[in-house]
């Protein structure tokens, strides 16, 4: 059973995770912006939701995107490894797909997925 309290706890855990990642400017001083474009695919042939998320150096380096499926609380799409490897190799763009890793009694596994495009802008050389 998923109670309201569990949901509040989940929100708090997510907030702590976000704070723990640190600021983009601290972790990736060369980065001036990160843009993530996502197309959400639902299980089956449901319509697609498009979403674009912007990250600035003053934001947290938390790239775990939430799953949009109702009832999927611990799922999502962690773009952190993709973005970190892009920054490490000074790559400006990357594309790929991720399947939601969340498990729920009400939802089939692989109930949702995204196709993403990440664009990283770097500061001009000083």
Residues forming contacts to Zn ion in the complex (CB under 5 A) are 67, 69, 72, 75, 100, 102, 112
From first CA to last CA, the distance across the chain in angstroms is: 55
73 versus 120: smaller Cβ distance to Zn ion: 73
Q: How far is the CB of 100 from Zn ion (least distance, A)?
A: 3
Q: Are strands 49-55 and 77-78 parallel, antiparallel or unpaired?
A: unpaired
Nearer to Zn ion, 26 or 110 (CB): 110
Extract the tokens encoding 55. Answer: 């990250």
**Least separation in angstroms between CB 13 and Zn ion:** 16
Least distance CB 17 / Zn ion (angstroms):
17
- Nearest partner of 35 among 52, 21, 49, judged by Cα: 52
Structure-block tokens of residue 74: 């611990």
Nearer to Zn ion, 42 or 91 (CB): 42
């Amino acid at each position: 059973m998923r109670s309201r309290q569990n949901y509040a706890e989940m929100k708090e855990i997510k907030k702590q995770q976000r704070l723990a990642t640190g600021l983009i400017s601290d972790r990736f001083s060369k980065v001036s912006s990160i843009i993530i474009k996502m197309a959400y695919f639902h299980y089956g042939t449901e319509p697609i939701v498009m979403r674009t998320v912007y990250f600035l150096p003053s934001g947290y380096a938390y790239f775990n995107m939430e799953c949009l499926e109702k009832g999927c609380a611990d799922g999502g799409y962690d773009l952190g490894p993709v973005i970190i490897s892009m920054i490490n190799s000074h790559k400006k763009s990357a594309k790929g797909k991720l399947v939601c890793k969340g498990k729920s009694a009400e939802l089939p596994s692989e109930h949702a997925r995204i196709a993403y495009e990440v664009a990283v802008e770097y500061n001009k050389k000083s």
